[in-house]
């Protein structure tokens, strides 16, 4: 069939609905530049195997060059009748190199090994861009942490008041997962660095083409050890979908806090005008849409991962057309993060932390109760008993509507004989924070070290 990659054994063309279902140019066209790069490498492999003469190679490369330029300029696009990017580009090659020469390029390769190679190349490229975006979010978090070194805030568990911590410590707790996401991308890249080209349909090729040569031409570290695996596996695409989903979830968790912090009730931070939106009816509104979109898109990214895993779970080896369903979710996931990451970075970098409010709230909700218990332990009271006594102190305050920091020496001696006025010395936010001075703790000295460590980790990426 004209402009089709198959048809010799068919009497008629495909049904209209069959073709509409099968067609993928509307989403796989973004791989065109990589398909052409693969074709260049493949042409050289054919030449090395004696299947293209010197002149034929030269003409083939010139035609591919022209095709590449025409794709880039938009002069060549997929036609309604093209099934996929591979078929469309073969048509484009034949238009430029003639049917005789253009028809030689497909020898020893299949769309199965082509697509498996292209998706790896594409992921390697795109994940580098995603890494830069993630790094910018880490930079925004670390920048805020540096600006606010020493500012206390209420630390929470179960969203209930727990212990005072430094705002910088809390912000860096959002930076570390993102730094691990950068590690994940780097680890994944090492696995993506093997080329399936040369696997052909599933069994490899009989034409003496060297997969290692093609791999090197395309910038891979080597070629896959198994041609069946090379064409049938999509675990690496699923792994990429996981990394995108994980980044989404990490952004969503910090975003959820931004949403809470910017409420009147919390009042911990104000959103910058440039990174929030108004309401069409309520004039007072300043809405955290960036954070909400981050939270929403995390759901979408998780859906892409689970959808892809479900697609893969029942597939026999080797290639099955189901595998085409990996493209749209992974492309969409990359597209979503490309717009989301800069917005989240901008929102975080411009958050206006209400440091007075944070400091005022830090000791509230009896968040220094653990310090009372720890003080008792230092007086050699067993912790179980110390916990009870500190609990009684909380109850005492609760009944009187006061905070632990309001206790007087008289109050203290009424609560329990083990408590002496000396305990009042540890009942301060600063004392509580700086007492937690082991590695990873919230003491200012430790957080200052930690910030440098986070910045170094980022620089190493
Ligand atoms: N478009 C397909 C994919 O994305 C590749 C083409 C393989 N088609 C085939 N009939 N073997 O996986």
Round to whole Å and give the CA distance between 307 and 342: 26
Ligand 1 interacting residues, C-beta cut-off 6 A: 24, 84, 111-112, 115, 319, 321, 323-324, 327
- Out of 1.10.287.70, 1.10.460.10, 3.40.50.720, 1.10.40.30, which CATH number does the structure's domain 369-427 have? 1.10.40.30
**Stretch(es) of the chain classified as CATH 1.10.275.10:** 16-107
Q: Is 222 helix (H, G, I), strand (E, B) or coil?
A: strand
Provide the pLDDT for residue 175: 98
For residue 166, what are the β-bridge partners?
152
* Protein residue whose Cα sits closest to atom 4 of ligand 1: 324
Atom of ligand 1 nearest to the CA of 327: 4
Provide the pLDDT for residue 1: 44
Ligand 1 centroid to residue 115 C-alpha, Å: 7
Name which of 216, 186, 163 is nearest 428 in CA terms: 163
Ligand 1 centroid to residue 194 C-alpha, Å: 20
For residue 353, what are the β-bridge partners?
269
279 given a catalytic annotation: yes
Provide the pLDDT for residue 282: 87
Taking the alpha carbons at both ends of the chain, their separation in whole angstroms is 50
pLDDT tens digits along 47-83: 999 999 999 999 999 999 999 999 999 999 999 999 9
pLDDT tens digits along 20-50: 999 999 999 999 999 999 999 999 999 999 9
Q: Region 237-251: what's the mean pLDDT?
A: 99
Atom of ligand 1 nearest to the CA of 114: 5
Is 3.40.50.300 the CATH number for 112-360?
A: no
Q: Region 273-286: what's the mean pLDDT?
A: 89
Name which of 76, 99, 98, 75 is nearest 89 in CA terms: 76
Ligand 1 centroid to residue 186 C-alpha, Å: 28
Phi, psi of 277, deg, nearest 5: -130, 160
Other Cβ atoms within 10 Å of 259 Cβ, number: 19
Provide the pLDDT for residue 178: 98
| Predicted complex ipTM | 0.96
* Protein residue whose Cα sits closest to atom 1 of ligand 1: 324
Distance of CA 354 to the CA centre of its chain: 30
Atom of ligand 1 nearest to the CA of 85: 1
**Stretch(es) of the chain classified as CATH 1.10.40.30:** 369-427
Q: Is the model's pLDDT at 275 over the cut of 70?
A: yes
Alpha-helical runs (H) found in 74-104: 85-102
Q: Is 367 helix (H, G, I), strand (E, B) or coil?
A: coil
Phi, psi of 222, deg, nearest 5: 180, -170
Across the chain, mean pLDDT equals 96
**Mutation test residue for ligand 1: of 34, 118, 203, 321, the one with most atoms within 8 Å of CB:** 321
3 with 79: CB under 8 angstroms?
yes
Name which of 304, 288, 340, 302 is nearest 133 in CA terms: 340
Provide the pLDDT for residue 412: 94
Name which of 197, 200, 155 is nearest 173 in CA terms: 155
pLDDT tens digits along 331-341: 999 999 999 99
Provide the pLDDT for residue 11: 84
* Protein residue whose Cα sits closest to atom 10 of ligand 1: 321
**Stretch(es) of the chain classified as CATH 1.20.200.10:** 112-360
Assigned token pair, 50: 């004696």
Q: Is the model's pLDDT at 98 over the cut of 70?
A: yes
Assigned token pair, 161: 């008041």
Q: In the CATH scheme, what architecture does the domain 16-107 have?
A: Orthogonal Bundle (1.10)
- The pLDDT confidence band at residue 3, using thresholds 50, 70 and 90, is low
209 with 45: CB under 8 angstroms?
yes
From the list 158, 169, 276, 432, the catalytic residue is: 158
Ligand 1 centroid to residue 227 C-alpha, Å: 16
367 given a catalytic annotation: no
């Amino acid at each position: 069939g004209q402009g089709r990659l198959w048809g010799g054994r068919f009497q008629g063309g495909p049904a209209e609905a069959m073709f509409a279902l099968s067609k993928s140019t509307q989403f796989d066209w973004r791989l065109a530049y990589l398909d052409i790069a693969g074709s260049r490498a493949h042409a050289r492999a054919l030449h090395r195997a004696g299947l293209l003469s010197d002149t034929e190679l030269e003409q083939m490369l010139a035609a591919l060059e022209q095709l590449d330029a025409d794709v880039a300029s938009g002069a060549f696009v997929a036609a309604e009748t093209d099934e996929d990017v591979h078929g469309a580009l073969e048509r484009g090659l034949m238009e430029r190199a003639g049917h005789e020469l253009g028809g030689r390029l497909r020898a020893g390769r299949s769309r199965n090994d082509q697509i498996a190679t292209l998706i790896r190349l594409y992921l390697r490229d795109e994940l580098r861009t995603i890494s830069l975006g993630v790094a910018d979010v880490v930079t925004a978090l670390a920048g805020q942490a540096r600006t606010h070194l020493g500012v206390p805030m209420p630390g929470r568990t179960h969203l209930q008041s727990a212990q005072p911590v430094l705002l910088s410590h809390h912000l860096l707790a959002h930076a570390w997962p993102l730094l691990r996401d950068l590690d994940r991308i780097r680890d994944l890249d090492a696995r993506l660095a093997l080329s399936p080209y040369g696997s052909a349909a599933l069994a490899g090729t009989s034409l003496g083409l060297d997969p290692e040569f093609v791999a090197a031409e395309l910038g891979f570290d080597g070629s896959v050890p198994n041609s069946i695996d090379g064409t049938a596996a999509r675990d690496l695409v699923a792994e990429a979908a996981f990394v995108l989903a994980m980044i989404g979830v990490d952004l969503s968790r910090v975003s959820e806090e931004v949403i809470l912090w910017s409420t009147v009730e919390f009042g911990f931070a104000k959103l910058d005008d440039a990174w929030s939106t108004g309401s069409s009816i309520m004039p007072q509104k300043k809405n955290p849409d960036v954070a909400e979109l981050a939270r929403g898109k995390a759901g979408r990214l998780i859906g892409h991962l689970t959808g892809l895993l479900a697609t893969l779970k029942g597939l026999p080896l080797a290639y099955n057309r189901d595998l085409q369903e990996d493209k749209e979710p992974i492309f969409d996931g990359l597209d979503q993060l490309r717009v989301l990451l800069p917005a989240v970075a901008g929102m975080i970098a411009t958050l206006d932390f209400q440091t007075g409010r944070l400091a005022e709230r830090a000791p509230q909700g009896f968040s220094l109760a653990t310090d009372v218990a720890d003080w008792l332990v230092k007086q050699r009271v067993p912790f179980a008993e110390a916990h009870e006594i500190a609990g009684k102190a909380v109850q005492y305050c609760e009944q009187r509507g006061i905070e632990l920091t309001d206790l007087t020496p008289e109050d203290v001696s009424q609560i329990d004989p083990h408590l002496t006025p000396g305990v009042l010395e540890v009942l301060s936010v600063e004392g509580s924070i700086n007492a937690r001075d082991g590695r990873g703790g919230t003491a200012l000295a430790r957080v200052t070290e930690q910030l440098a460590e986070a910045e170094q980790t980022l620089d190493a990426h």
